[in-house]
Amino acid sequence: MPLTIVFAFAGSFLLLAMPDWLIKIISLGISVEIAVQLLLDRKSGLVSRRTSKAKRNIGYVIYSFIEMIRGAVGSGIGTLNMVVMMNFFGLEAVSANAIKRMVTFPSFAVSLLVIIPSGLIDWPQGLSLLIGTAIGGYAGANLAIKKGNLFVKRSFLVMVIILAITALLM
């Protein structure tokens, strides 16, 4: 959580300095990387497994950089950390998603503190999206727990592909 907060703070300042076209390219590149990782390692996220200390340390470094990019580009990029947690920390998909949600929650507050003074937030739209996210997140969490890791991994892959296609068309 401390890494998440520090890098979200740094990334939020990056967002304010980044052109829109660069954000689009980063989003597309990361979406493609997530899809490739999920397709290459078919066992990742389905069962928990032990990983070496060296692999976990590499995972912490990658996680930190992703959090900085997430602070700059947006929460969709944070999904890459789910892949990091499955591949570098050996977590199952449901556990990786639950931990990712818990750890990144405080970083949203940090990002807001940096971005609010810029005047970039459309409050009515943002609050509507927040309510929709809360409702969808609750329903999705219940579905993930009932259906299990394979369902979560497959759904995650489909959503990443849709995100990539959307980024290409925008």
Q: What is the pLDDT of residues 70-110, one digit of tens each?
A: 766 665 666 778 888 888 899 988 888 888 878 777 777 77
pTM of the predicted model as reported, rounded to 2 decimal places = 0.65
Please tell me the predicted confidence (pLDDT) of residue 52: 93
| Residue-wise DSSP of 15-41 | HHHS-HHHHHHHHHHHHHHHHHHHHH-
Domain containing 118 equals 2-169
pLDDT of residue 118: 85
**pLDDT tens for each residue of 14-41:** 777 778 788 777 767 777 777 777 777 7
Flag whether pLDDT at 119 surpasses 70.
Answer: yes
When divided into structural domains, the chain yields a total of 1
Cβ atoms of residues 70 and 77 within 8 Å: yes
CA angle 39, 163, 112 (to 5 degrees): 120
